[in-house]
Amino acid sequence: MAAGGGATEYVTHHLVHMTVGEGFWALHIDTLLVSWLLGFVFIGIFYAVARRASVEAPTGIQTAVEACVEFIDNQVSESFHGPKDFVAPLALTIFVWVFLWNLMDLIPVDLFPELLKFVGIEYIRILPSADMNATFGLSLTVLALIVIYGIKGKGWGGYAKELFCHPFGAHPLLWPANLMLNIVELIAKPISLGMRLFGNLYAAEIIFILIALLPIYAQWIPGVAWAIFHILVIPLQAFIFMVLTVVYLGLAYEEH
């Protein structure tokens, strides 16, 4: 709940990162630490399930992990028609990691800021999806993979030919227009990926913060209602980011 400084100061305080450095070289330590921690949680759970997997008596978590892996594998098979040895694990990693990112939004907004005050940490944000640096960092990695798979699928010559000769034709006078249009399309893909994830989760975080401004007795109804709705948003945004990544890689790999 807001205390002392008013609503504006309360909201602003909850939107400030734990930062090292200034300007372009500033690092959001909270985003990095939470992302690494969730990555280790993801790896640890899947590794433990793989080590203890049983055909005769599968546990509930084994069943959930197997269902997740099968679901992702089916999505990759439908959208990507090249070799899946890298793309399928990539899609699984993106889906689970972004899902865990988004899941942090269900933790009460005041919990970690209040706890970490006792160790001298004033600013902390534990929702990586609401940090544009995280979402765009992930989408820029996807951009690099789009270029790599475009070259892998078509070769250097085929990829260059597509950049310069598509969509208007192969006449040299049309090369600049083709190249410009293809570059815009290429850049738009990671921007749309990063902005979609960031925008949805940032808006959700703001709403949770605004609900926390209400008196405690008045927080429960809107808080629970928004959390229930947000349970649908959490996996949906992870799925959209994952499936669009696979589609973009498939389009880059195939010849047109």
Contact 139, 199 (CB under 8 A): no
Going by C-alpha positions, the residue among 153, 149, 244 that lies closest to residue 192 is: 244
What is the chain's length?
A: 256
Distances (CA, A) of 196 to 129, 186, 192, 199, 240: 10, 16, 6, 5, 9
Contact 149, 252 (CB under 8 A): yes
Please list the active-site residues.
Answer: 192, 196, 200
- Residue 200 and residue 30: Cα distance in Å, rounded? 20
Burial class (CB in 10 A: 0-12, 13-18, 19+), 204: buried
